[in-house]
Amino acid sequence: MALEKATITNLDTNEEIKVLFNPKEYVVEKKTPWKEHQIQGLDSPAVEFTTGERKKLSMELFFDTSEERTDVRNYTKKIEELMMVNADQHRPPLCLFSWGKLKFKCVLEDMVARFTMFLNDGTPVRATLKVLFKEYSTAYSQMQEKPRHSADHTKRRTIKQGENLTTIAAQEYDDPNKWRVIADANGIDDPMNIKPGRRLKIPPLY
């Protein structure tokens, strides 16, 4: 069975770019940051999840045309063009990196080209490209893939001992002055007189 080649497809034009040599390795990176809120009187910051970061796919791609004695840039420029603005879309193209079962819809965000062998006239015939692809997905596609349980994004939480609307607003909205939004949503006339154990609605900010 022939060795399957990794490919990069320009999804705007459907042009498929085959790498000359499969990468020796690739790195997948994913981060899910939690935002810290500094609240006076606590032993450590309160934390809140806001949104995850895009998955990253990085690798080195090797190109060698020394046997053919042709310009290796005929190949590397096809990768570089994936970072150029599409005149119709007004943005660089969307891509799909494919290798076996790996299917990564992405955009090319970073590329470093290193040329290491040349003909007598200076024509480069060997190059290594260090590339970084970042995941591409729309909000709609993410919601379709993993529907959220609360369509209006309203949250609910129970008041704990020592909490008040100001500290809750700081945790939920990153702004303690937004306590009135919570008070209005829950019909609270006296924000200083709420007891632990009460269930609150935390509406989204529009």
Residues 133 and 94 in one domain: yes
42-51: Cβ within 8 A, 24+ apart? 46/167, 46/170, 46/171, 48/171, 48/172, 48/174
Residues across the chain = 206
In a domain, 1, yes or no: no
Number of domains in the chain: 2
- Containing domain of residue 172, as a range? 155-202
CA distance 162 to 196: 8
Residues 70 and 160 in one domain: no
Given this model, what pLDDT does residue 50 score?
78
Given this model, what pLDDT does residue 151 score?
43
Question: Which tens digit of pLDDT belongs to each residue from 185-199?
Answer: 999 988 777 889 999
CA distance 15 to 134: 19
Residue 165 sits in a domain whose CATH number is: 3.10.350.10
Q: Answer yes or no: are the C-beta atoms of 86 and 57 closer than 8 Å.
A: no
Place of tokens 């069975």: 1
Residues 141 and 159 in one domain: no
Residues 128 and 167 in one domain: no
For residue 176, pLDDT over 50 is answered with: yes
pTM here? Answer: 0.69
Given this model, what pLDDT does residue 150 score?
47
Question: Which tens digit of pLDDT belongs to each residue from 18-55?
Answer: 899 999 999 999 999 888 888 778 788 888 887 889 99
Question: Which tens digit of pLDDT belongs to each residue from 64-98?
Answer: 999 999 999 999 999 999 999 988 889 999 999 99
CA distance 27 to 131: 11
For residue 172, pLDDT over 90 is answered with: no
CA 111 to chain centre: 17
Tokens at residue 34, please? 């939690």
